[in-house]
Amino acid sequence: MVDIVSRETRSRMMSGIRGANTKPEILVRKLLFARGFRYRLHAKHLPGKPDIVLPRWRAMVFVHGCFWHRHDCHLFRLPATRRDFWKEKIGGNVARDARHHTALLGDGWRIATVWECALKGRTRRAPDAVGDELAGWLRADSPELEVRGAGEETEA
């Protein structure tokens, strides 16, 4: 299938995709801040450069885009063009995420992953529900949390 835009236009569009300070990430930060949690952003010294780090709670939150991190929800669909490239690219992201996750858990960090589908799309949840779930996890002692869209299993 041929792309509907020129190579230069596609390149410009793709370069505009942010890796930090995305709308879902900013929403999660606001939810945590409103509940009294204070945090650091994009800690470059930690594996995976976590989106939100809460040193007092020895916890971190990753806000993952469902496409870029291959989530099994309605927001992920492998592109029809250049399938081999995208399989390799997204597969590399998933493998890197797993390595960082293992390293951080080994260092004693607690990790929450908030998926984009929990915050937008047809399975989005009420923002307060997401914020309350994160706050409850932070105050507990569970090492991991995965926040998914409504109707999907939330794993602890």
CATH code of residue 109? 3.40.960.10
- The confidence score (pLDDT) of residue 156 equals 46
What is the arithmetic mean of pLDDT over 45-73? 95
Asked whether residue 86 is domain-assigned, the answer is yes
> Which pTM does this prediction carry?
0.85
Q: How many domains does the chain have?
A: 1
Give the domain range for residue 38.
21-147
Asked whether residue 5 is domain-assigned, the answer is no
Asked whether residue 156 is domain-assigned, the answer is no
What is the arithmetic mean of pLDDT over 1-23? 73
Portion of the chain with pLDDT greater than 70, in percent: 90
Asked whether residue 117 is domain-assigned, the answer is yes
Q: What is the DSSP string of the chain?
A: ---SS-HHHHHHHHHT--SSS-HHHHHHHHHHHHTT---EE--TTSTT--SEEEGGGTEEEEEE-TTTTT-SSTT----SSSHHHHHHHHHHHHHHHHHHHHHHHHTT-EEEEEEGGGTSSTT---HHHHHHHHHHHHHS--SEEEE--TTSPPB-
pLDDT digits 0-9 by tens, 63-110: 999 998 999 999 999 888 889 999 999 999 999 999 999 999 999 999
pLDDT digits 0-9 by tens, 118-141: 999 999 999 999 999 999 999 999
